[in-house]
Amino acid sequence: MSLFELTKRNVQRNFRLYTIYLFSMIIGVMIHFTFSSLLNNKDILSALENKTTFQVGVTITSIVLSLFIIFFILYCNSFFMKQRKKEFGMYVLFGMSERQVAVMVFYEALIIGTISLVIGILLGGLLSKLFGTILMSLMQYNNIISLSFPIQAMGMTVLLFFFLIIIISIQSYFSIKRVQLIELFYANKKREKPFHSSSIIAILSILLLGVAVILITRGKDSNVWQDHSTISLIAVVAGIIVGTYLFFRQFTGWYLETLRKKKRYYKGNTVLWTSSLRFQVRGNALNLTFIALFSTVIMMLMAFVYINYKVQFEAVGKNVPNSIAFQSIDQKTDTKIDNTIKNSNHSILYHKRLETLVVNPNTDMNVAFENPGSYSKNILLVSETTFNKIVSLRNDSQKVNLDRNEAVSLSQGTDFPKHYEKNKQPNFSVETKEKTNFNLVEIKDYALLGWATDPVSAMLKKPAMLIISDKNYEELKGNNRPTQFFEIYHIKNAKEAESLSKQVYKIVNKTKNTYYSSFADVYSKQIEGSALALFAATFLAIIALCALASIIYFKQLREATEEQEQYNILRKIGIENKEIKNIIGKQLLFVFLPPLILGILHSWLVIKYYILASVQNYPGLTLATIGIFSIYIVIYMLFYVSSINVYYKIVQRKY
């Protein structure tokens, strides 16, 4: 009988043993093919306004996904190999060389890989249609996505998994080669020694985590972050990472030892579910730390991209509030643009001409504008009456009422809008015929003209604008200050006006350095980009969660194999199966629950005090974030329930 025939028969007879390995391979193929087919789907590409950005984004995500899949499957294979060391020992004992065993493992990987590719590609093709439809919905496109199996996607998936099979074979060969024959038979008999923790370091872990929590909850507006941001950031990162590691390395062991010294330790089944855990503290510490920290990153990423996606719809309107706005050039050009807009499919809801005075600042721009590098060097002065009329047309509640020498800066996009009290108003001066001083009443997060845009680069620069009283404006205008006029249009279905924007921009751009802004230029790029980020992050979160939960899952299954004898003894002394399952549930909960709680704690505090705090004007985001956390918890706990059932089945086998 050849090695291939022996391998084929071995797979057929022990197919249940290969189930977990096969399942992980199918998931990997399915996810990779789904994402690769989206990259090459003609229906999706034809619908997009920014194909290059989409392809670059999907390609980067595919690479990250591939790395996750490789890690996930290699971890599964590592567990699979450890479970089969005794079997490999038998092969070597009967005269097979290490090379022959490695070849047999290669054949096994080839068979499992082929089955996985066929099933995974079929499922991935079906899912690509579903997820393609979801992606179009997120981007607010109505295009129908057809079922397809792109040759490029199939080729990429086959190449990745053939490469993976080779890596698995090499990993398996070295795993067999570096273990002695006697170790192969007794590999599952080895136990870790009980870990003796330090109460001082255990308390230190809680202190470190406490410091991180206190600093985070102070918020970004607090003095400690404003004055000592670098030190605070280092303290938070160190507190979370070191505190989490010491929590699992020392605090859990200390807690188990403390529990063992209490009288109630011998009541109920406490002694039974804690006894094994004392031996696992050292082995679990690094894994559980990694899971807790990575869970933090995953939940923060998901919450951030979802919040980013939800605020884009309103944020684009705040950043580019006008359907079309441009600096007036001359009467002939203005008329030509007006006719172009009127002859389009977009009816004009209103058209307003904006008059401004151009001045240069004498005061540091940082006083009135956050991130002044993104603003124009000169400043446009607007009268309060003109400003209030446009605000009324927009149905906004941002009107101003100014006394002489008072001013409001439009610091669009600022994280720190301010309204100054009468005796605390900073002075801001501009260069006119004579130096003119203004008392800054408010730094307002509002855009009158918004970002300058173009159909290719989207947002460029923002005009720096000050709203001043009508009296001041008329006085400065009378001093023959340079005047600039802007034409502002609000049209119907502005988000679908990409074609019109290109026509108008082409006319305006004939005069260099002329301000032009269009809602449509930014909307498609922002919405497509944020939708793709949400979609990609969801994929990454799913496979990362599977990989993280699998670390605990497989380790506990190995522990179950090692503890078959102990549970066999428990059954012999009269412990019922229901009680055994209860013991297993408590033991696994002690392993699964702490990293989940710490991950939720870390991520929720950062999201609440540094992300949600910045978007307080957007309703429903807190509830949506809680929903994301809930989904994560449900999936994670499904692994916990599955682990209990599989663990119970393993220890129920006759020893």
Per-residue pLDDT reduced to its tens digit, 133-143: 887 887 777 77
Q: How far apart are CA 598 and CA 579, in angstroms?
A: 29
pLDDT in tens, 488-528: 999 988 888 888 888 998 898 888 888 898 888 888 777 77
Q: Which residues of 453-488 are buried (b: 16+ CB within 10 A; e: fewer)?
A: bbbeebbeebbbbbbbbeebbeebeeeebeeeebbb
**pLDDT for res 315:** 77
Q: Which of 184-198, 430-444, 604-618 has the least mean pLDDT? A: 184-198
CA atoms of 148 and 143, how far apart (whole Å): 15
Q: What number is the average pLDDT over the span 29-47?
A: 79
- Residue 81 DSSP one-character state: H
* pLDDT for the residue numbered 316: 81
With 80 as the cut, is the pLDDT of residue 29 above it?
yes
pLDDT for residue 88 is more than 80: no
pLDDT score recorded for residue 386: 92
Nearest alpha carbon to residue 250 among 194, 284, 205: 205
| pLDDT for the residue 351 | 92
pLDDT at 487 over 50: yes
Residue 655 has pLDDT above 50, yes or no: no
* Portion of the chain with pLDDT greater than 70, in percent: 85
With a CB cutoff of 8 Å and minimum separation 6, the contacts of 545 are: 295, 298, 632, 635, 636
Please give the backbone phi and psi of residue 415, each rounded to the nearest 5 degrees, phi first.
-85, -15
Q: What is the pLDDT of residues 544-559, one digit of tens each?
A: 777 776 677 677 677 7
For the segment 141-150, the average pLDDT, to the nearest whole number, is 78
Q: Which residues of 563-572 are buried (b: 16+ CB within 10 A; e: fewer)?
A: bbeebeebbe
pTM metric for this prediction:
0.68
Q: What is the predicted pLDDT for the residue at 385?
A: 92
Residue 494 per-residue DSSP state: G
Q: What is the mean pLDDT of residues 148-174?
A: 81
pLDDT digits (tens, 9 = 90+) for 351-393: 999 999 988 888 888 888 888 888 888 899 999 999 999 989 8
Q: What is the structure's pLDDT at 147? A: 78
**Which residue from 163, 145, 161 is spatially nearest to 33, judged by alpha carbons?**
161
Residue-wise pLDDT for 62-84, tens only, equals 777 777 777 777 777 776 676 66
The amino acid present at 655, given as its one-letter code, is: Y
Question: What's the mean pLDDT when you consider all of the chain?
Answer: 80
Q: CA-to-CA distance for 38 and 32, rounded, in angstroms?
A: 10
88: closest CA among 165, 217, 205, 181? 181
> Which of 180-184, 270-274, 326-330 ranks highest by mean pLDDT?
326-330
Strand partners, 435: 431
Token output for 10: 């071995």
* Alpha carbons 38 and 645: distance in angstroms, whole number: 36
